[in-house]
Structure 1
Amino acid sequence: MVTLPRSARLAAWGTAWLRNEASLDDVVDRVRADDEPHDAVDVPGAATATGLSEALLALREAGATAFLVALPAPGDPSGLGGPADLNGYAVDAGEAVIADGAPYALVPDVRTFGPPGDQGHMVTWMVRPASPAPAAPSLADTDKELTTALLAAGSILTDLDVASWRPEVEALLSDIRTNRQSDPLPRAFPPQAQAVAARAARLLAVVRFALGDDGGAVTTSEATSRRAALTPLERASRSALAAACNALATR
């Protein structure tokens, strides 16, 4: 099953809600998934913490007409327009949602609790002042870049030692190799966005497992070569996933 980052789900479903293509309950349910109920802090007009639905209503009232996901990484603040404070929070989290039409962004603070194998997550969305998101590459361009990066990675991805990782990695690789279809975004999104989101999310998950675990790379040289080959694919996957989840907002 394709699982999108929380901010990607919030941007996609939140924009569908603003376009009357989804209900507010749909947004909250899709974003929360198996987490504990999400909270939000520093919401415009609210003196205390609120629920996610109240935060979204407040941002709509503040002028938000769409939501855009940013999936930055250290040294790559793509999708962020500042200020520096927001960029720092977003890079640390690896994700953020920029409100288009309102000077705010949401960044998730995720706390894990419970023993291994039975863990849960408590999520608080921090509302922060934000500048407009910068212009981003088109969905078509990021899809081409993802294909190029995947070809450049060559046999590195095919030869990953998935047995040393969690079992779902092998299923993700199988889905990628067979180009299995899925629709991880709201129905209002165009078919190309659905396909790109599914492929990019799967590749991003696999590559992050690979970059975090040397797996079958038995020498330092092999591990370094693997990282050099997969880092551009990780970056291209983030870019393509963001473009797909933002496709409804940029149409």
Structure 2
Amino acid sequence: MTGTSSVELPRSVRLALWLTAASRRGGPGAPSDHAERVVAAVGGDDEPHDLHEPGVEVPETGPAAFLGSDGSAFRQQVERWIAGGCAAVALVPPPGDASGLPAMVPDRAVEAGECVLLTCGTRHAVAVPEIVEFGSVWERGHCVTWHVTETGPWAPRFFEAVGTLADAENAMRHAVIQATGALVDLDVAQWREEAAREIDHLRSGLVPAWDLPEDVPHRNVQVLTTAARLRAIVALAAQDDGGATNLWQSDQRSTALREVERAARRALSAATFLPADDVDVTHL
């Protein structure tokens, strides 16, 4: 793991950004053409993403449980979303933490730590990725199944939970300032050599080579980059106790890391909202 390889965006963030952009995009190309582009950008190196239809039982054992999806069901759903002029945002809560989340967010999303809220015309839904890893540490793969359920209007509750992009930026900046003492005083001289090298890369300011829609505002990209970079640093720092020498220091360090992670997740969510001049967000 070198350079910015560990700076990744959750699949829900990628799907929300690409769905909104593709739904607004005019010019050549039918919804099916745009859907292919969205699926490719969201899937990355994953196996073809699958879609779980409500009411359809998922096999847990037997040959059917191990058959890979060809991606057609998910691709067709993306096409329907685009054709319906879909607006989408992502929620990226800490896994298992439902505090501050809209009541409509299902338990599955809380467990996954991410979901997409969608509005297509007068219909609203939430899509949650179920991610299963396979392979070895040298060659790891991912199978992703999206679970989609209908819900009610989500905009007011989304903004109550996440706030504006400026709110999220301020919260992230404040969390970093508050955590600086704990992370620097306890960690800098104590990080493992390989982790220290990766931290230097993450601090270098290099922009990750993400596949994002070209019409995502520069400010949103900056927030996404900062938040993803902070999450990568937290993940490295959380692998051990750094320079903590007792239980109190370890607890202080863990608390600081959690607050940075929480603020970064909130910023990722806020940066997926791409307002359009002709959209009344109160009716999403």
Q: Which moved more, 1:214-223 or 1:136-145?
A: 214-223
CA pair 14-190 structure 1, distance change in 2 beyond 3 A: same
Pairing of 1:188-227 with structure 2 (within 5 A): 188-211=215-238, 213-227=240-254
Match of 2:8, SS?
coil
Return the TM-score normalized by structure 2.
0.74
Give the whole-Å Cα distance in 1 for the aligned partners of 2:34 and 2:196: 33
In the other structure, the counterpart of 1:152 is: 178
Give the whole-Å Cα distance in 2 for the aligned partners of 1:193 and 1:183: 15
Match of 2:264, SS?
helix
Q: Is the 8 A contact 1:96 1:105 kept in 2?
A: yes
- Confirm or deny that 1:23 pairs with 2:21: no
Q: Is the 8 A contact 1:8 1:245 kept in 2?
A: yes
CA pair 148-176 structure 1, distance change in 2 beyond 3 A: farther
In the other structure, the counterpart of 2:109 is: 90
Unaligned runs of 5+ in 2: 27-32, 59-68
Which of residues 53, 71, 92 in structure 2 aligns to 1:71? 92
Cα deviation, residue 212, structure 1 = 5.1
In the other structure, the counterpart of 1:140 is: 166
Paired letter, 2:16: A
In the other structure, the counterpart of 2:80 is: 58
Paired letter, 2:173: T
Q: RMSD of the alignment, in Å? A: 3.0
Give the whole-Å Cα distance in 2 for the aligned partners of 1:23 and 1:60: 8
Cα deviation, residue 124, structure 1 = 0.5
Cα deviation, residue 150, structure 1 = 0.7
Match of 1:81, SS?
coil
Match of 2:46, SS?
coil
Give the whole-Å Cα distance in 1 for the aligned partners of 2:218 and 2:138: 36
Cα deviation, residue 248, structure 1 = 4.8
What is the CA deviation profile of residues 152-183 of structure 1, one whole-angstrom value per residue up to 9, with x for unaligned ones? Answer: 1113334354427xx57743x33553444457
CA pair 31-237 structure 1, distance change in 2 beyond 3 A: same
What is the CA deviation profile of residues 110-141 of structure 1, one whole-angstrom value per residue up to 9, with x for unaligned ones? Answer: 11112332221111101122233214211112
CA pair 175-117 structure 1, distance change in 2 beyond 3 A: closer
Match of 2:137, SS?
coil
Q: Is the 8 A contact 1:66 1:100 kept in 2?
A: yes
CA pair 177-115 structure 1, distance change in 2 beyond 3 A: closer
Higher Rg of the two aligned structures = 2
Percent sequence identity is 32
Q: Which moved more, 1:182-191 or 1:24-33?
A: 182-191
Which of residues 192, 195, 205 in structure 2 aligns to 1:163? 192
Give the whole-Å Cα distance in 2 for the aligned partners of 1:47 and 1:54: 20
CA pair 211-168 structure 1, distance change in 2 beyond 3 A: closer
Count residues in correspondence: 243
What is the CA deviation profile of residues 19-62 of structure 1, one whole-angstrom value per residue up to 9, with x for unaligned ones? Answer: 11793222111111111110011169x9998532111223345x
CA pair 214-26 structure 1, distance change in 2 beyond 3 A: farther
Q: Is the 8 A contact 1:183 1:194 kept in 2?
A: no
Cα deviation, residue 238, structure 1 = 0.6
- Confirm or deny that 1:42 pairs with 2:53: yes
- Confirm or deny that 1:4 pairs with 2:23: no
Give the whole-Å Cα distance in 2 for the aligned partners of 1:116 and 1:27: 28
Which of residues 266, 274, 280 in structure 2 aligns to 1:247? 274
Match of 1:100, SS?
strand
Q: Is the 8 A contact 1:106 1:126 kept in 2?
A: yes
Higher relative contact order (CA 8 A, sep 6+): 2
Cα deviation, residue 82, structure 1 = 3.4
